[in-house]
Amino acid sequence: MKNNKPHNYPKIGIRSKIELAKRLSDCRNPVDKIKGLIDDVVNNYDQYWIDHARLSEPEKGKWVRDASRSNLGKLLKLISERVLTPHDHMVPVFVFGGLKKRNHKTAVEYLLGTRRQRIILKLDVTRFYEQIKSDRVHQFFLQKTNCGYRGAKLLTKLCCVPVGAKDKPENYKSIGRGFSTSSRLAVWCNLDTFIKLDRLIRKELKGKDPRIAVYVDDIAITASRATKEDLIKLYPKIIAILNSDSKQPLPLNNKKTKIITHTGDTYDIGGNHLGCKGFEHLGIQMKRNSLEVGVKTKSKITRLKNKHKDFKNNTSLTKSLQSLRQYENYITKNETAGLKSDR
């Protein structure tokens, strides 16, 4: 299986504030207006973002930033849409999440492969966004995208925030978890590492239809007729690649590392059996030639159906059930040509 997508970096070519303003401008938002927006955000940056109380997980060192309904949020959205998104087609086919037409469903479809009796190795990168420091973001813009020093520095300043709680920041910055630019920057700043990982599994699992899908901080590897011993043996090599960049290692959460066979039997990375939990990734069950919603979603639909029988006039309950059914229809609908697997 060949990956025909180019592994080039986007030629963004922003050399100064005025060039960024020109790139973001249109008939409704002329250059001078955008330039004023940039100046305002730079001068009042810390006033335009907060920690999202509900989505943040302080106990895990994860702080989601909220810049919505602010000038910073407006500016980041423009940068995402007009500076980063046009280059989505250049990202390798095995990278998903936050990219145009590459959501969690397409990631799981890709993992199905074309051969039967598949096995999956599920990996989770610890504090993924926090690992991508502002120095690496600046280096990416300056060295990989044809940006000038001032342009790279400006883009980095707009896309990065101090790590930790806003009122108790740490002494370095990383891309802002929750910002509209972050998913794409996370991909580009780690692209070399992800490509090395793809090459590794193609080499080590050659002849077994290996697939890797990188979905933000979730990485999954599937193969046909491979054993759990094959994946356990592969694991240290995966860790070595993810930690090969001393300036930006990507440590894995061993507790979340799982191996699942096509029968649903689940093992930890030590080979210990954890039960039969179903062949599932990103909340989606992988069947032979199709997808189904995961166990949790199915259970939720069943509970809502039972409640709805007794409270048919409950508008909120009806809308929730309709929303879940629409999601289920979307997941089960085969929209991808060539979605075949004899698993």
Residue 310 forms part of a structural domain: yes
Q: How many domains does the chain have?
A: 1
Residue 199 forms part of a structural domain: no
Which token pair is 238? Answer: 């995966």
Residue 69 forms part of a structural domain: no
Pairing of strands 291-293, 284-286: antiparallel
| Cα–Cα dist 217/210, whole Å | 20
Residue 91 forms part of a structural domain: no
Residue 317 forms part of a structural domain: yes
Output the pLDDT for position 312: 67
- The one-character DSSP state at 9 is P
| Cα–Cα dist 22/20, whole Å | 5
DSSP per-residue string spanning 196-240: HHHHHHHHHTTTS--EEEEETTEEEEEEES--HHHHHHHHHHHHH
- The one-character DSSP state at 274 is E
333 three-class SS: coil
Residue 272 forms part of a structural domain: no
Output the pLDDT for position 237: 97
Residue 57 forms part of a structural domain: no
By residue range, what is the domain housing residue 310?
287-332
Residues of the chain below pLDDT 50: 1-6, 337-343
Please, are residues 155 and 208 in contact by the beta-carbon 8 Å criterion?
no
HEC letters along 4-67:
CCCCCCCCCCCCCHHHHHHHHCCCCCCHHHHHHHHHHHHHCHHHHCEECCCCCEHHHCECCEEC
Which token pair is 99? Answer: 């990219």
- The one-character DSSP state at 62 is B
Residue 297 forms part of a structural domain: yes
Mutual angle of helices 315-332 and 295-310, in 10-degree steps: 150
Output the pLDDT for position 154: 98
pTM: 0.87
- The one-character DSSP state at 10 is P
Output the pLDDT for position 334: 75
Q: In sequence order, what are the residues at sequence separation of 6 or more whose Cβ sits closer than 8 angstroms to the Cβ of residue 191? A: 7, 9, 91, 92, 95
Output the pLDDT for position 161: 97
| Cα–Cα dist 334/330, whole Å | 8
Instruction: Give residue 314's identity as a one-letter amino acid code.
Output: N
